[in-house]
Copies of this chain bind each other. A is one copy, B any other.
């Protein structure tokens, strides 16, 4: 059968990235507490395409992913990228995996434990000059408004606030390290299971530590600067303000090495 993809294209431009998006599959992820955990992922895969070829061979991405069948780690993503690069005859390969990551968390007073879910994303890119990994994780926290607290006779508005960290890593780090960083940076962590004594504890703790989105983003950024295992990071904090129907946000981005921007 004719290989239309190998024809010469009418417009001779290099394509930066071409591939497949939103392949869904079960995924085994390395986990600090249990060695591995089962989750599911949505996966994007891509390569560059030189100006000489009309099209890439999309089915080879799916084959590479099906054969991969590995637990998620930097090493296994590197293996996937090398396979894609080779199978597709490309100079650059790209993989992006989104998945929920589960942790069993204990309530602060009763010690009751339950599952908390965090949205994570891992992006790997590989070419002849080397490889890069960007790790992303979204951690919900609680914020109590310092202004509302200072000016009101009683109370202060609070809300669920999302901390979104994005980091170009130098070496492997556990997702749990970044969850800890985010949860230490708001007014309180959030939990799935809270008994009455826990609700009292969290309310009092949060009201003793009021934070603006500006405070949270600085607290996280400071801890990421101290962490030392990244070349670049961006952290964005967005609070679903309980007194508004719009959100507040703050963002800090830092280049920690002389490498190019992501």
B147–A244 contact, CB under 8 A? no
Which residue on B lies nearest to A154, using beta carbons?
A: B207
Interface residues of A in 80-104 (CB under 8 A from B): 100, 102
Given contacts A2-B150, A38-B26, contact A252 B15 (CB under 8 A): yes
B151–A243 contact, CB under 8 A? no
Nearest chain B CB to A184's CB is how many angstroms away? 12
What does DSSP make chain A's interface, helix, strand, loop or mixed? mixed
Is A230 part of the binding interface, using a Cβ–Cβ cutoff of 8 Å? no
Is A256 part of the binding interface, using a Cβ–Cβ cutoff of 8 Å? no
Interface residues of A in 132-189 (CB under 8 A from B): 140, 142-160, 188
Q: A192-B246, A199-B243 are in contact. List 4 more A-B contacts (CB 8 A).
A: A10-B219, A54-B214, A58-B248, A159-B240
Please report A residues at the B interface, Cβ cutoff 8 Å: 1-5, 9-11, 13-26, 37-40, 44, 46, 49, 54-56, 58-59, 62-63, 66, 100, 102, 112-117, 140, 142-160, 188, 190-197, 199-200, 202-204, 206-208, 212-215, 217-219, 221-222, 238, 240-253, 261
